Amino acid sequence: MTIVERFLKYVSFDTQSADETGQTPSTDKQWDLARYLKQELEEIGLEEVELDEHGYLYATLPANVDGDIPTIGFIAHMDTSPDCSGANVRPRIVQNYDGTDLVLDAEAGIVTTTKKFPELLDHVGEDLIVTDGHTLLGADDKAGIAEIVQAMVYLKEHPEVKHGRIRVAFNPDEEIGLGAHKFDVEKFGCGWAYTMDGGELGELEFENFNAAAAQIRVTGVSVHPGYAKGKMINAARVAAEMAAMMPVEQTPECTTEYEGFYHLLDMQGGVEHASLTYIIRDHDRSKFEARKAYVTALGELMNQKYGQGVVAVELKDQYYNMREQVEPVMHIIDIATQAMRDLDITPRVRAIRGGTDGAQLSFQGLPCPNIFAGGLNFHGPHEFLPIPNLEKASQVVVRICELVAQR
């Protein structure tokens, strides 16, 4: 089976995760792909294949050379984003892409234009896998799964490529921030690992946001508006006032690269009760702490103005910048960049403007940078996957295994 055939098989499974179901995996349909992958890994000859009670799948490719070689791992997630349907995905291969707009559904008028998605033009002459415009594709992260599995097949079929013990793992619920929560790092037993979950060819990421969630609740006092002077506290208006005090230039739509932000996810309310939900992000830990302190201070300011207890601010840290954990073992980045250069891929070391399972795993004792999986425009119907990216990523996995053994 080719890597493209594997990928197309994987995207036929609807594995969309869901927030707040209180179970792991968050959706039962993720089990379908997990069980299929378990059988596939057994058939290709991997050992210690285990699907645990939480839907985490682990397997081992034994070393084919003696020596004190570190055990390394490769990880990808099975779920797709709740942001867009992943059911009944109908992929199509555009051969030798010519640089024009891609018509996904002519009847519905769904077109991926080069004006809106100029990254298409970086892949003229390549074969692309696209959607029919009504679902996401699922390259995030079924491309990563296909790349890892195909690499293991290659290593099994080419014993002349020497490697140490290799562990692979496929997990649920990355898209809702829970992919690493029940990952058994001790069982995985690796010195370090790589998530195959990045985007464009050459991407290598070992920095991500520090992240927190802020839940702000406002309790008002309802009085007949005709007699409300000096008595009413309009919770919705207080919430709007507080939202207006957040720095407008420090929002996702106004920031890029290493610039952090406050992002208003949800705003609800009436006179008696209102709420604001924010996420807070920054790569710099000190700036991250300052952002949280600012939100807390705003709440205190509102309480001084309207009365103690009117505004309650609850902050919850979500994850931290994995750079803190990777910097002491930078050789794992050096190996990945060398693997890319050996394959004529220019490494693009960049910071993730988001999170990754690898960040949480790094703080659990498993340093885990992120390598490109090759897809673009994730989480929506304009997602596409250049086939050369898919193939190159799998080759990077093989080369990393080889380089670790050589070192």
pLDDT tops 90 at residue 104: yes
66 with 195, same domain?
Answer: yes
3-state secondary structure of 140: helix
Find the Cα–Cα–Cα–Cα dihedral 327, 360, 152, 197, rounded to 10°: -90
Residues 399 and 310 grouped into a single domain: no
> Helix-strand-coil percent breakdown of the chain, rounded to 5?
35, 25, 40
CB 369 within 8 A of CB 333: yes
Whether the model pTM is above 0.95: no
* pLDDT given for residue 177 in this prediction: 86
**What local confidence, expressed as pLDDT, does residue 115 receive?**
96
Judged against a pLDDT cut of 90, whether residue 354 lies above it is answered with no
Alpha-carbon gap, residue 94 to 325, rounded angstroms = 41
- Examine the pLDDT at 356 and tell me if it is beyond 90: no
Q: What is the pLDDT of residue 19?
A: 87
Residues 168 and 267 in one domain: no
Q: Confirm whether 79 is a catalytic residue.
A: yes
Q: Is residue 199 located within the same domain as residue 240?
A: no
Given 40, 140, 173, 174, which residue is catalytic? 174
Q: What is the CATH number of the domain that holds 308?
A: 3.30.70.360
Domain boundary among 266, 291, 319: 319
Per-residue pLDDT at 339: 98
Same domain for 166 and 55: yes
Rounded to whole angstroms, how far apart are CA atoms 132 and 287? 42
* pLDDT-based confidence at residue 399 (cuts at 50, 70, 90): very high
Within this chain, do residues 310 and 330 fall inside the same structural domain, yes or no? no
Domain end call among 319, 343, 372: 319
Same domain, 133 and 181: yes
Q: Give the pLDDT confidence of 105-151 residue by residue, as tens digits.
A: 999 999 999 999 999 999 999 999 999 999 999 999 999 999 999 99
Report the interhelical angle of 285-306 vs 235-244 (nearest 10°): 140
Query: Residues 272-279: what's their mean pLDDT?
Result: 97
Angle, CA 276 vertex, CA 219 and CA 79 arms, to 5°: 135
> Percent of the chain at pLDDT above 90?
95
In the predicted structure, residue 271 carries a pLDDT above the cut 90:
yes
Residue 254 has pLDDT above 90, yes or no: yes
**Where is the domain boundary, 319, 354, 371?**
319
What CATH number is associated with residue 342? 3.40.630.10
Tell me how many domains the chain contains: 2
Q: What percent of the chain has pLDDT over 70?
A: 100
**pLDDT of the residue at 20:** 83
Confidence of residue 192 (pLDDT cuts 50, 70, 90): very high
Q: Are residues 312 and 330 in the same domain?
A: no
Q: What is the 8-class DSSP label of residue 16?
A: B
Here the tokens at position 342 are 């050996």
Asked if 162 and 86 sit in the same domain, the reply is yes
Residue of 40, 79, 203, 357 marked active site: 79
Question: Which residues form the domain of 305?
Answer: 210-319
Q: Is 101 a catalytic residue?
A: no
Average pLDDT over residues 230-242: 96
Mean predicted lDDT score pLDDT of the chain: 96
Q: Are 320 and 281 in contact (CB under 8 A)?
A: no
